[in-house]
Amino acid sequence: MPTDRFSLMVHGGAGALDNVKDDRTAVRYLESLRIVLEHGRAILSRGASAIEAVETCASLLEDDPLFNAGCGSVLNELGRVEMDAGIMDGRDLAAGAVAGISNIANPVQLARLVMDGSEHVMLIGEGAMRFAEHCKVPFAPDHYFLTPERIAQLDQARLKHRIMLDHDEADELAESQKYGTIGAVARDVTGNLAAATSTGGVVNKRLGRVGDTPIIGAGVYADNETCAVSATGFGEDFMRTVIAKTIADVLDFKGGDAHSAADEGMSYLKRKVAGRGGVIVIDRDGRCAAGFTTKRMIHGWIAHGGETVCRF
């Protein structure tokens, strides 16, 4: 197996995804992932680093209103967008994250700025917004995020008095829903790993709720010695199991590859907390694996520079 070629994986959420079971919607999701993967292929094959690739791919997914991140973010209990994002470089375990931010088109880029341009790993809310201003990140207006679909989705959740994933079980709430976190993991041609994850969180969440996405080791993790992981699903389950780091630890302490580590991680998630969601994993040799406890996960990959595969 060639290990000197790049590998790339992306995901667009996990869940029942009954809203994408019809062919037309499924094609839109899969086409979007394919475009992102081909963009990633182009830059990685020209020598881009893994961290550049995951930032670029995650940004493109944030720019697509199909997905629950960036402009497609779901709404909280007050009808506002509060986004979280995290990014990690497997070369030196450098990491950056933002939580509870609004009016930023690409939270993953702000997370990268926190990583590269501050002495901290995570900034939240007002502090993160002040940092964005300091870095001259442009602010996007409210209407960039508040789509009629997201407002209708929040209304449905409020009627049910519940929070929900963008893709909960197959009930009437799920039928019209787009779903979940987005994420990217990569191994570049020099063998470096990186991971990025970004989300609007869960529909009708409490003001101030933060999920797994920006928590290093829960929703995102990368270490050149083991693997890069991006998670999607019900954040509370992923935080309680520190799932991304748990998967890296499986490789570190037990050995194996991306497939066995993803499987073991999902068994652990299920056994310990009946967790709902999934992960994408690239190991240090560039093997690509996906694991999920939900019915489906929208994801795609390019293993060792080979063909582009998209699934849900």
Nearer to ligand GLY, 48 or 262 (CB): 262
Task: Give min distance, CB of 229 to ligand GLY, in A.
Answer: 13
233 touches ligand GLY (CB under 6 A): yes
- What does the buried/exposed string (b/e) look like for 255-270 if buried means 16 or more CB atoms within 10 Å of the residue's CB? eeebebbbbbbbebbe
- Around Cβ 93, how many Cβ atoms within 10 Å? 14
Angle between helix axes 50-62 and 23-45 (nearest 10 degrees) is 150
- For the chain, helix (H) and strand (E) counts, in that order, are 9, 12
Task: Give min distance, CB of 154 to ligand GLY, in A.
Answer: 15
- Active-site entry in 3, 56, 181, 213: 181
107 touches ligand GLY (CB under 6 A): no
12 touches ligand GLY (CB under 6 A): no
Residues 6 or more apart whose CB falls under 8 angstroms from that of 142 comprise 81, 103
153 touches ligand GLY (CB under 6 A): no
232 touches ligand GLY (CB under 6 A): yes
Residue 99 sits at the vertex; the CA angle it makes with 98 and 101, to the nearest 5 degrees, is 95
Is-contact 32 66, C-beta < 8 A? yes
By CB under 6 A, name the one of 111, 164, 202, 280 that touches ligand GLY. 202
Task: Give min distance, CB of 4 to ligand GLY, in A.
Answer: 33
Nearer to ligand GLY, 59 or 192 (CB): 59
- What is the Cβ-side half-sphere exposure of residue 133, based on CA atoms within 13 angstroms? 8
DSSP string for residues in 163-219? -B-TT-SSSHHHHT-----EEEEEE-TTS-EEEEEEE--SBTPPTT---STTSBTTT
* Separation between Cα atoms, residue 305 and residue 260, nearest integer Å: 22
Nearer to ligand GLY, 86 or 286 (CB): 86
**Stretch binding ligand GLY (CB under 6 A), from 51-59, 102-110, 211-219, 293-301:** 211-219
Let me know if 181 is a catalytic residue.
Answer: yes
**Stretch binding ligand GLY (CB under 6 A), from 53-61, 89-97, 194-202, 261-269:** 194-202
89 touches ligand GLY (CB under 6 A): no
**Stretch binding ligand GLY (CB under 6 A), from 96-104, 122-130, 209-217, 289-297:** 209-217
Residues interacting with ligand GLY, by CB under 6 A? 181, 199, 201-202, 211-213, 219, 232-235
